[in-house]
Structure 1
Amino acid sequence: MIINKLTYLIAELEGEVEGFVLNFRKRFNPERVTWPTDITIAGSSGIGTLSEGQDLDFVIAEIAVVLDRYSFNDVTFESLERFPDTGIYILKPSREKFDELHNAIKETQVKFNDTPWPFTPHCTLSAVQENSEDLEEVFVGARYPIAAKIRSFSLYQPETNGGCRIHRF
């Protein structure tokens, strides 16, 4: 199979964080409720999404070697933040292990699309462009979970109102 759509490498999370993220999305970003609770390793920032036209089996093999070397299961969250001048709210994890993994993935033979943003590991709570008083009020008072587990790493192709996991590592 050839990759022919926008494809991300994500760390799918489990634990209390799933309910926290889902509640936030239901209220402020309902079109994202079916998306996984995840931290993007390749896609929205840093090395960008996987380039189209690559053989999926090759990509899986390249990434699997890295995931075997850099595997970790525990995630600690450090803060809730908002990207300036947007309604994009995120839960930020401690980033050291994610930076190591991101850099190792970058060194594979997998090709990635350019993105203008530096790598910022995060779990998206809301991705609306316009901020609102309601969103800000809930965000400021939110008590977020401080830990989660990584259920799996996946290649994921997001689409409006959902998406498709094309491989789980």
Structure 2
Amino acid sequence: MKIDKPTYLIAELSGELSSFVSECRKQFNPERVHWPVDITIIGSSGVGTFREGQDLQLLVDSIAPVIRENCFDSVEFYSYGIFPDTGIYYFAPDRKNFDPLHSKVKSSGVLFNQNNWPYNPHCTVRAGDRPDCEIDALLDSITLPQKASIDCFSLYQPEPNGGTRIHRF
């Protein structure tokens, strides 16, 4: 099978913070309610999505050892933010495990689409085109730090109102 859509490598999250993010999405970003609560390792910053046309099995075989050697099962979030000039709100995790994993997958020999943004691991709470005062107040009410569990790492192809996990590591 060849990859024929934008494909991301994500860490799928669960736990109390994940439930909070899901509730925020229901209220402020309903079109994203069916997307996994995650932190993107490959696709949204640092490098772009995996380049289309690559064989899925070769891609999996190239990055599976990297994930096994750099696997971790929890993450702590210390702050939230909003990307400048957007309405994209996010929780910022401790980067100590994400940066090396991103770097090693990037060096694994697979091909990526271009991306102009530096790597910034984050868990998107709301994606929009402008800030929203209501979500500011809600995010100010949460006590940080917060922990989340990583259920799995997966290759994910987002689509409007959902998407497809094409491989689970």
Whole-Å Cα distance in 1 between the matches of residues 6 and 99 of structure 2?
22
| CA separation of 1:94 and 1:12: change in aligned 2, threshold 3 A | same
Per-residue Cα deviation, 1:86-118 (whole angstroms, up to 9, x for no partner): 211001100011000000001111100110100
Other structure's SS at 1:153 match:
strand
Q: Report % sequence identity.
A: 52
- The CA distance in 2 between the partners of 1:13 and 1:69, in whole Å, is 19
Task: Give the structure 2 partner of residue 75 of structure 1.
Answer: 75
Give the corresponding residue for 2:104.
104
Residue number in structure 2 paired with 1:156: 156
> 1:110-129 residue pairs with structure 2 within 5 A?
110-129=110-129
Contact between 2:48 and 2:115, CA under 8 Å: does it hold in 1? yes
| 1:30 corresponds to | 30
1:3-152 matches, cutoff 5 A: 3-143=3-143, 146-152=146-152
Give secondary structure in 1 for the equivalent of 2:97.
helix
What TM-score, normalized by structure 2, do the two folds share? 0.96
Q: Using the TM superposition, give the Cα deviation of residue 164 of structure 1 relative to its aligned residue in structure 2, in angstroms.
A: 0.5
**Structure 2 residue ranges without an equivalent (≥5):** none
Aligned length: 169
Match of 1:119, SS?
coil
Deviations 1:7-51 (A, max 9, x none): 000000111122111011011100000000100000100011000
How far apart in 2 are the matches of 1:143 and 1:113?
Answer: 37
Distance 2:83 2:161 in 1: 22
CA distance in 2, matches of 1:12, 1:145: 19
Give the 3-state SS of the residue equivalent to 1:96 in structure 2.
coil
- AA of the residue aligned to 1:165: R
Structure 1 length-normalised TM: 0.96
Structure 1 unpaired stretches of 5+ = none
Q: What is the CA-CA distance between 1:63 and the residue it aligns to?
A: 0.9
